[in-house]
Amino acid sequence: MKLVFATHNLNKLAEVKKIIPNHIELLSLEDIGCTEAIEEYGKTIEENAMIKAAYVYNTYNVNCFADDTGLEVEALENAPGVYSARYAGPQKDTNANMDKVLEELKPHENRSARFKTIIALYTHEGKNLFEGIVDGIITNDKRGDKGFGYDPIFQPDGYSKTFAELTSKEKNNISHRGKAMKKLTDYLK
């Protein structure tokens, strides 16, 4: 089966390629000639995933999936949430986003957080949503040089390392995206 992953994020693409089973031929947006940026104007993570998948499916008539992920920090009323990529501004600067979260958490003792991924699958047979959640805490500082996004400040429950300190295999086994991808691949079997 050929399936397009509707993302221009090369880090996400590389991560998903390590998770997806061999019987699925994973194509990128570039593989189908989609170079335009797909605007994320949804008010929820679910809406953004559906917007991206629907755009690719309707424009290119290909089976595809898209994901959207948000970091939800309890003490910040689940911010940054749907605005995770652009939390510190439209430039989508990863370090600025992490710095803003760390700064806003300084007066709080509660550092509970979770990553939430929603995958929207659009195929000729219909539409489906798959969710993956991992709970953890926000560390006091950045640790590790693997992963991307908020990985250096997110420590999953039951671990003493951040996502950025784990190997990609360790992270994929427990991560929000890994859990959502498992549900997707189980569905596609």
Question: Binding site for Mg(2+): what residues are annotated?
Answer: 39, 68
Contact indicator for 34, 44 with CB cutoff of 8 Å:
no
Determine contact, residues 171/134, Cβ cutoff 8 Å: no
Where is the binding site, in residues?
7-12, 39, 68-69, 148-151, 171, 176-177
Collapsed DSSP state (helix, strand, coil) of residue 15: helix
- Its sign, for the CA torsion 70, 42, 31, 90, is negative
Beta carbons of 42 and 55 less than 8 angstroms apart: no
**Known catalytic residue at 68:** yes
Active site residue: 68, 93, 135, 141, which one?
68
Q: Token digits for 115?
A: 């990553």
**What is d(CA 150, CA 115) in angstroms, rounded to the nearest whole number?**
9
Annotated binding site for substrate: 7-12, 69, 148-151, 171, 176-177
Catalytically active residues are 68
